[in-house]
Structure 1
Amino acid sequence: MIVPTSTRRIHPAWWVALVAFLTAIGAAGFRSAPGVLITPLHAEFGWSMGLIGSAVSLNLVLFGLAAPFSAALMELLGIRRVVAGALVLVSVGALLPVWMTASWQLILSWGLLVGLGTGAMSMSLVATVTGRWFVARRGLVTGVLTAAGATGQLVFLPLLAWLAENHGWRSAAVATATAALLVVPLVLWRFHNHPAELGTTAYGAPVGTPVAAPPRPTRNPAVLALATLRDASRHGVFWLLVGSFAVCGMSTSGLVGTHFIPAAHDHGMPQTTAASLLAVVGVFDILGTIFSGWLTDRFDPRFLLALYYTLRGASLFLLPSLFSDQMHVNMLAFILFYGLDWVATVPPTMALCRIAFGDRAPIVFGWVFASHQIGAAIAAAGAGIVRDQLGTYDLAWYAAGALCVVAAAMCVAIRERPAPSLRVTQEAGSTSA
């Protein structure tokens, strides 16, 4: 029986958004782990920072490259199945290092398994959920769901650092695996694939909107994802988004997220203190990303991005002078500011994808997000090599700051208009389906 939306006390879109938020939190536990475990792994196995960074690098690459294919797979199999399977994969990959004895096992588990699993729950999931379930408040919900990763970091980082320091890094790996697995029942219970499953429409949809799910694609998900890449790559806006978002990945999860703790430790700061500072980044990231979503509903996303990248670059130029063996006011100011800017770039970037590429936006954004993770992977490995060769991370901070200025210029150059050929391709594909 169809239940009119107006009779529901809470629109089901909000329940789906809540489960998506909790799913991202569950997956975020592992993404918090590398920064905490780099130093213990280096101490126990004697592996270089560059080698450990390469495992993180592979994880970041696959985390991004899996995104467009998972978005296409969600169209074929549904969100619920893909996300539940991904959480199980993350749990297995996070637990296997407990028994590892060689570096290739670290690369297999942290790099391959968890990279693929978390990639299925990346920003393409946010694009799919907001695209299917929301018309009104889409930018705000995008900001909230993006902030889920920061919330996971906030919840897990201090705990993982405490476990690693007091009970060994293996206890932190077990906690991460458990957290991801606990979310699976909730996904199977409440993560509905489309409003039509419940006989309703997306939140804020105009009155009279048909209550019907779009036809599932008949093409192989990999073919659909690659065809979307082919069509999107013909437009300059795609490459400007790819380039700027690659810099976003370099300057956040790849560099600061992976190497801030060991860099602070180089200056004598206790690891638990440095982890707590990154957790504070997570607190302000939540506020900054939600506020960025609110701004995206009201202002030109191109100029929001230019502002975010410029301010981020300036803060990275200052960071090397702020490290010391203890917490101080200037470092706290950096943490506050950097937290507000951490993933504030996601809502306006996703909005530009939606404007340019219409219904194909979730898959296109998956490819744009892949560039984010490739950039992050380059920074994760590159900064480790810089540290091994020079004995300091300073050059990595300065290089990332300069690239942020370049990214700001790329965002200003974007022309905010649809890409008609991609829309035509999608219309033809839907008709054939």
Structure 2
Amino acid sequence: MSHTRSRSSVLQWLVVTFGFLALALAFSARATLGLVMPIWEQELGWSRSFVSGSAATALLVMATVAPFAGHFIDRHGVRLTLALGLFLVGVGCLIVSSTSNAIIFLIAFSAISATGYGIVATHIVSTAVARLFDRNRGLATGIATSGATGGQFLIVPLIAVVLTTFSWRWSFLAIGIGCLALIPILWWTLTEKGDSAIAPSDCEPTPSIWVDVSAVIRKPAFHILFWSFLLCGFTTAGVIETHLLPYASFCGFGPVPSATAYGVLSAVNMLGMIGAGWLADRMNRIVLLGSIYLLRGVTFIVLINVGADYEMLVVFALMFGAVDYATVPVTASLVASHLGLRVMGLSMGMISAGHSLGAAAGAFSGGYIFDLTMGYDWVWITSIVLAVGAGCIVLLLKNNPQDATVREAGH
């Protein structure tokens, strides 16, 4: 019994580790786009609207892929899911590193890599972790999904150094090689027997994806979490991941100082996700999630006033990092309790699709507003309003799910 429990514990934390690493690589690849955007404007003549539009297109692809990726992990487990996603991200990055053609870039980044981003995503990792952990689920989810930002603390500054020392092509090449190199390690370590602890057995009933979708969208809790997460996407992956580095460049800061501030944001973000996961196990999760959104709105006031003051940019990075992806482990915990573990992958995928739709709107509107006004003030003002709105929506959620046990009976 003790030996079995020990092996189970090892599997649990291996999934947490590989989830962290996979997210670190995938999200760093996305962040690199913002880092090289000003360089592409000068070297390739691509407008900020075009690059922002490619990011928005990638986010729309991610939104389309997310529910199917969630259903895929519900059926097949985390090993095959992450391996497939890493392969697509890696191949897309390698193609981007070797082209100057706008069409090929769109295919590589906004189609191939974007499909991988939709698979190597926080909803996939949080689902795998939730299936394995009964105790400390929030903490484990926070640690695993913090790879989305914490991994960038080291990777993005390194990419900036590669960018300034060599070229932007080497930046994407390094990310692509890293993704492909992780696949065999992940595949050999997360054995098929271990992965069966995450995916359902063949003898379990497997309703079609459309039956499960119909059941999920009838739940009021889904709509509250979906729309708040959509607004979350606008204020994080949309305007910050895509436009913070170009905004820093616009304020007069070079690639390395800008990437360093982004790295600070990512490091604090990691601590914020872990802390939010820990708190989700110990306090009212609805109040916690609503407070995170409201505090995020306050941070944009600081961002508006950065100007040429680098210290103010770092202050924003510290404040925003604490409330950036801290929403992920809390939202995942609420999905598990209010919508059920059996369809958690699908539910998180659908909610994450909303996040990507909001992010696409933020990414595109940020570039469009900049080209229109030659500034970002209205982007940040809009973000304040939407973050506060997300917090208000969350507070409508009931604290005690009425039928979670019914849904769990099928698991």
Any idea what SS the aligned residue of 1:227 has? helix
Q: Counterparts of 1:93-242 in structure 2 under 5 Å?
A: 93-192=92-191, 197=196, 214-215=201-202, 223-224=208-209, 226-242=210-226
Which sections of structure 2, spanning at least 5 residues, go unmatched? none
Q: How many residues are treated as equivalent by the alignment? A: 410
1:316 equivalenced with 2:300 (yes/no): yes
Q: How do 1:8-407 and structure 2 match up within 5 A?
A: 11-192=10-191, 197=196, 214-215=201-202, 223-224=208-209, 226-324=210-308, 326-328=309-311, 330-358=312-340, 359-407=342-390
Q: Is the 8 A contact 2:157 2:260 kept in 1?
A: yes
Tell which structure's C-alpha radius of gyration is larger: 1
In the TM superposition, what whole-angstrom CA distance separates every residue of 1:341-367 from its partner, at most 9, and x where no partner exists? 111111111111111111212210111
Distance in 2 (alpha carbons) for counterparts of 1:193 and 1:351: 26
Alpha-carbon distance between aligned partners in 1 of 2:140 and 2:66, rounded to the nearest angstrom: 19
Secondary structure at 1:11's aligned position in 2?
helix
Structure-2 separation of matches of 1:67 and 1:192: 24
Distance 1:29 1:268 in 2: 23
Instruction: Give the distance between the partners of 1:396 and 1:100, measured in 2 at CA.
Output: 31
Q: CA deviation at 1:3?
A: 7.7
* Worse-matched range after superposition: 62-71 or 178-187: 62-71
Distance apart, 1:216 and its partner CA:
6.3
Checking the alignment, whether the CA contact within 8 Å between 2:74 and 2:200 is kept in structure 1 is no
Aligned equivalents of 2:50 and 2:211: distance in 1? 35
Normalised to the residue count of structure 2, the TM-score between the two structures is 0.93
Unaligned runs of at least 5 residues, structure 1: 203-211
In 1, are the aligned partners of 2:54 and 2:106 still within 8 Å (CA)? Answer: yes
The separation in 2 between residues aligned to 1:196 and 1:264, in whole angstroms, is 43
Give CA deviations for 1:235-273 in whole Å, capped at 9, x if unaligned. 222111111111111111211111111112112111221
Change (3 A) 1:173 1:217: farther
Partners of 1:227 and 1:127 in 2: CA distance: 23
Q: What is the alpha-carbon root mean square deviation over aligned residues? A: 2.4
Answer yes or no: is the 8 Å Cα contact 1:232–1:422 preserved in 2: no
Residues 76 and 43 (structure 1), Cα distance of their counterparts in 2 relative to 1, 3 Å cut: same
Please say which of residues 94-103 and 236-245 is displaced more in the overlay. Answer: 94-103
Go from structure 1 to structure 2 and tell me whether the alpha carbon gap of 1:259 and 1:19 turns closer, same or farther (over 3 Å shift): same
2:391 equivalent in structure 1? 408
Q: Match of 1:399, as an amino acid? A: T
Percent identity over the alignment is: 26
Q: Is the 8 A contact 1:68 1:124 kept in 2?
A: no
Moved more, 259-268 or 156-165: 156-165
